[in-house]
Structure 1
Amino acid sequence: MAFTFYALIQTAILCVNAVAVLHEERFLSKIGWSAQHGTGGFGDDPSINAQLLILIRSVKTVMRVPLILVNSVCIVLLLLFG
């Protein structure tokens, strides 16, 4: 299997899908990354864990509809061109 640009795009889509389906109460709270821990006070720099939690929430919020469309396009391309 050759490493192509399409394979790179598929890898990025799968990684974004993996982040989008993470469940906060089931998975993230078990490793200590839940909303109850907070992100710090005003003027404080948030920790790396807090920044990753904000990134996960942002991906869930912003990428919901675009992911549906991009996944549909990828499925159609795979069905057409194998």
Structure 2
Amino acid sequence: MAISIFGLLEVMLLFINAVAILNEERFLAKIGWGRQAANPYEQESVKARIVNLITAVSTLMRIPLIGLNIIVILYLVVLG
């Protein structure tokens, strides 16, 4: 099984899709990773940075991800 650049890009796209669809109220807050669970005085903690990254990806990357997913799906349908 050969690993290609497109395969790595596809894995990254799937990972970003997974992060973008995480719902804060349904999933993240239940495991203690919601924005309310992050202590405002610990802005430099790893947990606070990951929570901020998840929030940023879900809000900023929503529209570009739709376009990227359409391009990848069309590429895979046409070229296999």
TM-score with structure 1 setting the length:
0.88
Partner residue, 1:4: 4
Identity within the alignment, %: 43
Greater relative contact order (Cα 8 A, min sep 6): structure 1 or 2? 1
**RMSD over equivalenced CA pairs, Å:** 1.3
Partner residue, 1:32: 32
Partner residue, 2:61: 63
The 1:45–1:35 alpha-carbon spacing in structure 2 relative to 1, beyond 3 Å, is: closer
Alpha-carbon displacement from aligned partner over 1:15-43 (angstroms, at most 9, x marks no partner): 000000001111111211112224423xx
* Structure 1: runs of 5 or more not aligned: none
Q: Runs ≥4 in structure 1, deviation > 6 angstroms?
A: none
CA positional deviation for 1:45 = 4.1
Determine the C-alpha separation between the residues in 2 that align with 1:25 and 1:46.
23
